[in-house]
Amino acid sequence: MIDIKLIRENEEKVKENIRKKFQEEKIPLVDEVKKLDEVVRKRKQEKDALRAKRNQLSNEIGILFKENKVEEATQKKEEVVEINNQIVEIEAEESKIEEQIKEKMLIIPNLIDDSVPIGKDDSCNVEIEKFGEPVVPDYEIPHHADICEALNGLDKEAAGRTSGNGFYYLVGDIARLHEAMISYARDFMIEKGFTYCIPPFMIKGDVVDGVMSFAEMDAMMYKVEGEDLYLIGTSEHSMIGKFKGQLIDEKELPIAMTSYSPCFRKEVGAHGLEERGLYRVHQFEKQEMVVLCKPEEAMDWYNKMWQFTVEFFRSLDVPVRTLECCSGDLADLKVKSCDVEAWSPRQQKYFEVGSCSTLGDAQARRLSIRMRTTNGNQFLSTLNNTVVASPRGMIAVIENNYQENGSIQIPKVLQPYMGGLEVIRSKQK
């Protein structure tokens, strides 16, 4: 949510930002908010004038009673009662209009950074840099689901019986590989100075409103029937929600945390579910990084955070690239975002394994998270980034470490998390 001062003082800038995001249908909201804001400010002036008149009358009433002018004092007391009634009516109107303003402001997208490329959708995202040499072996690499099944590590058929499409059982050494990646990601980030945290896996509706747009929520989140609780789609949601309504001393910033959670997503929309594999599913596990910092430090943290993800995957011998997200591909709260994509030797292309975003003060403003400074209380900045989401990240490890004999070479950094196991082989061989 942007600062309403931007609409008061530079509505054209807000409208131009909406155009850059190809959301022209939202432009009328700017004019609507401005008109409603003018009404609220006018009502506040009227209320202030009434309060001043009430104070004046109260003083006069006191004098009149001292002078024993009871009848005249009583008349003025009746005027005070009428003024109080008018103030109550104005406050009720103010409250109603302010709620309308809030509803519209929640829909108006955040201002994007000047460096964001302009484009309508993800087809306009721009490659920034490649890390590691993409290799295509001279032998065929099967689909990751076939690899896992051949190693007795995946059972989607049974998951279909228990839970439906979009779920899975991971078994044996494949399950161990999955958890090894999560555990390694945890320790990797702790060594980077991040504080480890396991958050709640369900959050209230007001926290959902604070961390994402309604469109995102509707497409992603599962609601617990009959309760004001939602299953999280990423631990960023509950990690940012941890600070809802808090005033943090600027000396405590930055706050850098790495969080583990299972994640649950509807996967409604254009992408849909993947029928066979593990790339797009209803549940997965994730190691996340979240930072709260001063606004002037946000871009430095943004660049450090995506580099951590690159370093993580390179330590697994997975070639990656970074992709700058264009304006039309940015969620409404985001100022700037980039994806980290891993190389798929089977498909001979890159696929997304992580996303890094800086959101300015949008989440802080929605959740009333402020920092105490020598210049007064101010909204701070929030950022989030994926360390690894698995089993998606595991697909990249499997494909890039698949051997011609059907085995998977385990990256050295993961071997300690798998009891020293170096290779995953079929138990039938």
Is the peptide bond between 345 and the residue preceding it cis, with omega within 30 degrees of 0? no
Average pLDDT over residues 287-307: 97
**Count, residues in the chain:** 429
Question: What per-residue confidence (pLDDT) applies to 274?
Answer: 60
**Residue 270 pLDDT > 60, yes or no?**
no
Question: What per-residue confidence (pLDDT) applies to 99?
Answer: 93
Average pLDDT over residues 327-348: 96
- Closest C-alpha to 171, from 203, 192, 148: 148
3-class secondary-structure state, position 16: helix
**Residue 43 pLDDT > 60, yes or no?**
yes
On the 0-12 / 13-18 / 19+ scale of CB atoms within 10 A, 175 is middle
The proportion of the chain whose per-residue pLDDT surpasses 90, expressed as a percent, equals: 85
Question: What per-residue confidence (pLDDT) applies to 429?
Answer: 43
Average pLDDT over residues 320-327: 97
**Residue 244 pLDDT > 70, yes or no?**
yes
For the segment 77-116, what is each residue's pLDDT rounded down to a tens digit? 888 899 999 999 999 999 999 999 999 999 999 999 999 9
CATH number of this structure's domain 122-424, picked from the four choices 3.30.360.10, 3.10.20.30, 3.30.930.10, 3.40.830.10: 3.30.930.10
For the segment 338-396, what is each residue's pLDDT rounded down to a tens digit? 999 999 999 999 999 999 999 999 999 999 999 999 999 999 999 999 999 999 999 99
Average pLDDT over residues 61-68: 84
For the segment 207-223, what is each residue's pLDDT rounded down to a tens digit? 999 998 777 777 788 99
Q: How far is CA 44 from the centre of its chain?
A: 35
Q: Do the beta carbons of residue 108 and residue 2 sit within 8 Å?
A: yes
Q: How far is CA 221 from the centre of its chain?
A: 12
CATH superfamily of 4-105: Serine-tRNA synthetase, tRNA binding domain (1.10.287.40)
Q: Mean pLDDT across the chain, nearest whole number?
A: 93
Question: CA 64 to CA 62: how far, in whole Å?
Answer: 6
Question: What per-residue confidence (pLDDT) applies to 70?
Answer: 81
**Residue 275 pLDDT > 70, yes or no?**
no
For the segment 411-426, what is each residue's pLDDT rounded down to a tens digit? 999 999 999 999 999 8
Average pLDDT over residues 126-155: 95
Confidence of residue 260 (pLDDT cuts 50, 70, 90): very high
Average pLDDT over residues 317-343: 96
Give the β-pairing of 255-264 and 195-197: parallel
The answer to which of 104-118, 180-194, 275-289, 397-411 has the lowest mean pLDDT is 275-289
Q: Do the beta carbons of residue 302 and residue 383 sit within 8 Å?
A: yes
3-class secondary-structure state, position 85: helix
Average pLDDT over residues 48-61: 90
Confidence of residue 271 (pLDDT cuts 50, 70, 90): low
Average pLDDT over residues 42-65: 90
Confidence of residue 268 (pLDDT cuts 50, 70, 90): low
Give the β-pairing of 255-264 and 247-249: unpaired
Give the β-pairing of 408-409 and 423-424: antiparallel
**Where do the domains of the chain lie?**
4-105, 122-424
Question: What per-residue confidence (pLDDT) applies to 216?
Answer: 76
pTM for the predicted model, two decimal places: 0.89
**Residue 272 pLDDT > 90, yes or no?**
no
Question: CA 110 to CA 236: how far, in whole Å?
Answer: 18
